[in-house]
Copies of this chain bind each other. A is one copy, B any other.
Amino acid sequence: MDILTGLDYAGVAVFAATGALAASRKQLDFIAFLFLAAITGIGGGTIRDTILGQTPVFWVQDHIYLLICAGVGALVFFTAHRFESRYKVLLWLDAVGMAAYSVKGAAIGFSATGSSVIAIVTGILTATFGGVLRDLLSGEQSVLMRREIYLTAALFGALAWVVCHHAGLSPVVGSSIGFVVAMVIRGGALHYGWS
């Protein structure tokens, strides 16, 4: 398993965990944990793939994504009550997933269209729509509507990937830089309340 695949699976897993934490905050049942984990983990990529016309979407073609979501959902079901502040954990995991997906979404959008503009847009879409679906379904205010910086972090993560790609850097280096850029911006927003 190379580093890009690892980053991909990590993104799915942490987003799935935020979906399961949302289920936990609503005191839902076991299957609802798996459901919200899957919606959040694969929702953004699903919308990206349907917009690009790359169907059946990625998780229909490779079951590993559903398995990761189910495993993480089950794990959170049995452990979530131990966290003192589930919403704080959710926000930080959401930041990691957003950063990972901003570069993955950009890479897939660029590979499908060859357009830097579309790469940035699919980066933002992939990074945000899993969380949007999670918040809509669990009846929370959307994380996008919170006042701290969020979309800007996804935008700069995707942009960094595009710049690195045009600079001829390897996918591993470009993805790592994009991930760090998005994570630093969103992490700063969460920690220092940047807005």
Contact = CB atoms under 8 A, between A and B. Distances in A.
Given A28-B145, A137-B142, A145-B138, A56 B66 contact: no
Oligomer copy total? 3
A149 interface: yes
B121 A66 contact: yes
Interface of A: 26-32, 35, 38, 46, 50-53, 55-57, 60, 63, 66, 112-113, 115, 117-118, 121, 124, 132, 136-139, 141-142, 144-145, 147, 149-152, 155, 195
A141 B144 contact: no
Nearest to A32: B151
14 contacts: A28-B147, A29-B151, A31-B152, A35-B144, A38-B121, A50-B51, A50-B55, A51-B55, A53-B56, A53-B57, A60-B118, A66-B121, A137-B145, A138-B145
